[in-house]
Structure 1
Amino acid sequence: MTTVDAYFTELSDALRAAGVPDEQIAATTEDLRAHLAETGTDPVREFGAAAAFAARLGGLAPAPGEPDERAESWTWTADLFNDRRMLAVHGDQGWEVESLDSIGRFVCRRSTTAPLRWEYRREILTGRRPKVLAELEPEGWEPCGEWLVYGYFKRPRAATAGPAGALEARPATPRRQLFLGRTGKLVLALWAVVVGGATAAFFVGTLGTAGLAITIAFASMVSGLVTAQLETAKGTEREAGE
């Protein structure tokens, strides 16, 4: 048995003794082995002693997707200009995105016993889904939601950062649920001006109910298309430059 095999045997035994399901142990050790194979480092030097590392990983933390009555819940949203920055901020505070709801909000949870830091990325999926999944899944990324042409992916930071992926203290749950970037605020302000003008025209009698409804729908459609187009163009430029 090699040194690496001995390390992961000890790590698996420690996690199993802490009550971690075998399926979760297998997934965790697979991610960690892949990290070591990529970096070529020694497991003890990279992660520390196996028993201590198992404790820091959070032996009683639920596997992603499994229910946890003690977990905190929080739902929030951001515009497409600000979502990746806020995902990085909230992921570093231990919030795991479980899904996106029907109106594009991030539905999150955070373990109260052994929270982990999470990292996220956003990819354009239109016409690229099989390629994106084939590239990201071997690196430990898993889908956590889709919105418009975008797919969101997550992975626990412990898979790449070792002990630094554990969260020792949980910041308070944010009171805000909406996070807009500067461009998003500008788009929203323009939408408000158009809709406000149409509403005023409706009340003074120069615009009928049908006209008001059409104006609001058109303004919403245009703002959504502009937002998606700008961010899709940025994503395409980044991909071309890689």
Structure 2
Amino acid sequence: MSTNKDSDRYFTELTDALRTAGVPDGQITATVEDLRGHLAETGALPEEEFGPAAGFAAQLGGVVPLPAEPDERAENWTWTADIFNDRRMLAVHGDQGWEVETLDSLGRFVCRRSARATLRWEYRREVIAGRRRTKVLAELEPEGWELCGEWLVYGYFKRPRAATAGPAGALETPPATPLGQLFLSRRGKVALAVWLVLVGGAMAACFIGTLGMGGLAITIALASMFSALFTSQLETAKGRVETAKGRAEQSPPSP
């Protein structure tokens, strides 16, 4: 049976999480009254019925502006990183309040940061190729993770930090929008340097007359194709390794 003390403690935490997420007080009051009425009918404990208060607040949709009240002052920023640097940069930018809305056709993270209620975000990357997709979604969605973009064999998931940290997941003074848009690891920088050397050599040969415009175009296309294939191969191979590790961890030890 639910007790008043249990309910009061739970709804105090829920109210704080919703207020931190920028939900209007009137909406919070109405929501809490509805939930209290539901518990009065069922007699269940609030945490058993709804789950942890912070996570339930995120599920209620209070972490984004209401549809009828768009945040016109929200900042927008698009950036990208290679596969060896993406998780680190997502952690950095998520801690600065940047929410990934999607990945565009070039694999860039399209982000938004609200000016009214800035939250810290946490991210994770999972292999979701083939039959693994359904399993991963079934495991992560109940914990408040939302799929926000896909690239090759990977799926990127986001969750407001308030889902686990409560009011501490809010960001009081967001830093300025980063000036950069490309964040490469050492491997990424090496691949880019090789591409620049090949293209630079082709342009120099074209300039002195030993390579025509057609040859220059072919060289640039081949260099770009090689770079893309090499990067994709590295990303796919890394994804397969992560998948194999996951299966090994889930498999019971042999007798």
- Normalised-by-shorter TM-score class: 0.7 to 0.9
With over 3 angstroms needed to count, the CA separation of the structure-2 counterparts of 1:115 and 1:11, relative to structure 1, is same
Aligned-partner SS, 1:116? coil
Cross-structure match for 2:106 = 103
Cross-structure match for 1:232 = 236
Q: CA deviation at 1:170?
A: 0.9
Aligned match of 2:127 in 124, 127, 135? 124
Q: Contact conserved, 1:19 with 1:60, CA < 8 A, in 2?
A: no
Aligned match of 1:158 in 150, 159, 162? 162
2:89 is aligned with 1:86: yes
- Work out the CA distance in 2 between the residues paired with 1:216 and 1:109: 34
Work out the percentage of aligned pairs sharing the same amino acid: 68
2:185 is aligned with 1:169: no
Q: Contact conserved, 1:71 with 1:112, CA < 8 A, in 2?
A: yes
2:25 is aligned with 1:18: yes
- Structure 1-normalised TM-score? 0.75
Cross-structure match for 2:214 = 210
2:72 is aligned with 1:72: no
Cross-structure match for 2:37 = none
Letter paired with 1:98: E
- Work out the CA distance in 2 between the residues paired with 1:123 and 1:133: 10
With over 3 angstroms needed to count, the CA separation of the structure-2 counterparts of 1:126 and 1:210, relative to structure 1, is farther
2:183 is aligned with 1:179: yes
Q: CA deviation at 1:134?
A: 2.1
For 1:37-52, what aligned pairs fall within 5 Å after superposition? none
Q: CA deviation at 1:222?
A: 1.7
With over 3 angstroms needed to count, the CA separation of the structure-2 counterparts of 1:73 and 1:238, relative to structure 1, is same
What is the aligned residue count? 218
Letter paired with 2:89: M
Cross-structure match for 1:39 = none
Aligned-partner SS, 2:172? coil
With over 3 angstroms needed to count, the CA separation of the structure-2 counterparts of 1:116 and 1:63, relative to structure 1, is farther
- Work out the CA distance in 2 between the residues paired with 1:60 and 1:86: 22
Deviation string 1:153-194 (CA, Å, 9 cap, x unpaired) is 111111112222111221111111221111110000001111
- Structure 2-normalised TM-score? 0.72
Deviation string 1:96-136 (CA, Å, 9 cap, x unpaired) is 01112232221111122221110111223332322322222
Cα RMSD for the two superposed structures: 3.4
With over 3 angstroms needed to count, the CA separation of the structure-2 counterparts of 1:94 and 1:33, relative to structure 1, is farther
Aligned match of 2:148 in 136, 139, 144? 144
With over 3 angstroms needed to count, the CA separation of the structure-2 counterparts of 1:105 and 1:60, relative to structure 1, is closer
Structure label with greater radius of gyration:
2
- Work out the CA distance in 2 between the residues paired with 1:67 and 1:198: 50
- Work out the CA distance in 2 between the residues paired with 1:154 and 1:11: 22
Aligned-partner SS, 1:176? coil
Aligned-partner SS, 1:115? coil
List alignment gaps of at least 5 residues for structure 1: 37-42, 48-53
With over 3 angstroms needed to count, the CA separation of the structure-2 counterparts of 1:33 and 1:184, relative to structure 1, is farther
- Work out the CA distance in 2 between the residues paired with 1:236 and 1:4: 46
- Work out the CA distance in 2 between the residues paired with 1:158 and 1:10: 15
- Work out the CA distance in 2 between the residues paired with 1:123 and 1:99: 15
With over 3 angstroms needed to count, the CA separation of the structure-2 counterparts of 1:204 and 1:95, relative to structure 1, is same
